Amino acid sequence: MIVPRREDSLRLGSREFAPGEFALMAIINRTPDSFYDNGATFDLEPALEHLARAVSEGADIVDVGGVRAGYGPEVDATEELRRTSDFVAEARSRFPELVISIDTWRSEVADELCKLGADLVNDTWSGHDPELASVAAQHGAGLVCSHTGGIGPRTDPHRAAYADVVADVINTVTELAGKAVEAGVRADGILIDPTHDFGKNTRHSLELTRRLDELVATGWPVLVALSNKDFVGETLDLDKDRRLPGTLGATAISAWQGARVFRAHNVAETRQVLDMVASIKGDRPPAVARRGLA
């Protein structure tokens, strides 16, 4: 069942993002085996240095995770908290206005990190823990509602098939959003995420990008996590360290179609793309405008 949203405002932490304003979410992986950076921000000090750089380059949100999304060694809730709690506490202290997002599917982890100041629960595993929405509601935090095609945490798709992948995504994420509102989560703090690659093959992710306006039409703010993903790599036949141009192309397409939040590894480049799209759309004035005026 598609549950529409009737509001335009998006409120996360102390920030309110107006219609037409793109929010950029930087990624901090507190894992030794992260997909993209191979553990570069596993230790606290490098993670905080990366955070400061991301904020200076235009990040509005930081998303911190303590468990690799794909296959790997078991990480229990205690270890996940050990990896993330010090960063969340320090980030909250250093950047009071920054929106802090936590990438977890576990309600017990979300509960502790929200106590430390997290503003948004990024549930990339599509409501696997049914208590997660209640935890977000209890703390007044926002919630990301995602789509994985029914697969569980840390598993890859196998022969994923949909009659209509976009319809399946819309039905899943809007139903989760409706349940979140029923659980007490603020409607203006809920985002929907088509969750590229998760439970999908490359053609599915391309189709979702091409038809993203259909998700936008539900009225729920759309988050896209495109950065250096496998669908970009397979489309262009490139390794993960050469996928930035393809990522930025997909980012521009998604922004033009109305996505609101963009999860990215490469903050400075993504900020420039989002600012350019916003200016072309007429939602942002040029930073300077001298040409032809003298």
Q: Which candidate, 252, 254, 253, places its Cα nearest to that of 275?
A: 252
**pLDDT of the residue at 17:** 96
pTM over 0.85: yes
DSSP code of residue 126 = T
Give the pLDDT band of residue 4 (cuts 50, 70, 90).
Answer: low
**What pLDDT was estimated at residue 6?**
57
How many Å apart are CA 121 and CA 133, to the nearest integer?
Answer: 9
Whether the predicted pLDDT of 205 surpasses 60: yes
- Residue 263 annotated to the active site: yes
Residue-wise pLDDT tens digits, 158-174: 899 999 999 999 999 99
Taken in order 70, 76, 77, 79, the sign of the CA dihedral is negative
Nearest to 270 by CA among 283, 286, 252, 293: 252
284 noted as active-site residue: no
Q: Domain 10-281 is of which CATH architecture?
A: Alpha-Beta Barrel (3.20)
Position 115 pLDDT exceeds 70: yes
Cα angle 91, 186, 220; round to 5: 95
Q: Is the pLDDT of residue 60 over 90?
A: yes
Residue 97 to residues 93, 110, 118, Cα–Cα distance (Å): 10, 20, 11
Whether pLDDT at 25 is above 60? yes
Q: What is the mean pLDDT of residues 171-191?
A: 97
- For the stretch 236-279, pLDDT in tens is 999 999 999 999 999 999 999 999 999 999 999 999 999 999 99
Residue 9 pLDDT level (bands cut at 50, 70, 90): confident
Residue with the larger pLDDT of the pair 1 and 82:
82
Please identify which of the residues 229, 243, 260, 271 carries the catalytic annotation. Answer: 229
Catalytic residue from among 30, 243, 263, 271: 263
- What does the alpha-carbon distance between residue 144 and residue 114 come to, in Å, rounded to a whole number? 14
In this prediction, residues 182-209 reach a mean pLDDT of 97
Task: For residue 238, give every residue at least 6 positions away whose Cβ sits within 8 Å of its Cβ, in sequence order, or none.
Answer: 232, 246
Report whether pLDDT(3) > 90: no
Compute the average pLDDT of residues 50-74. 95
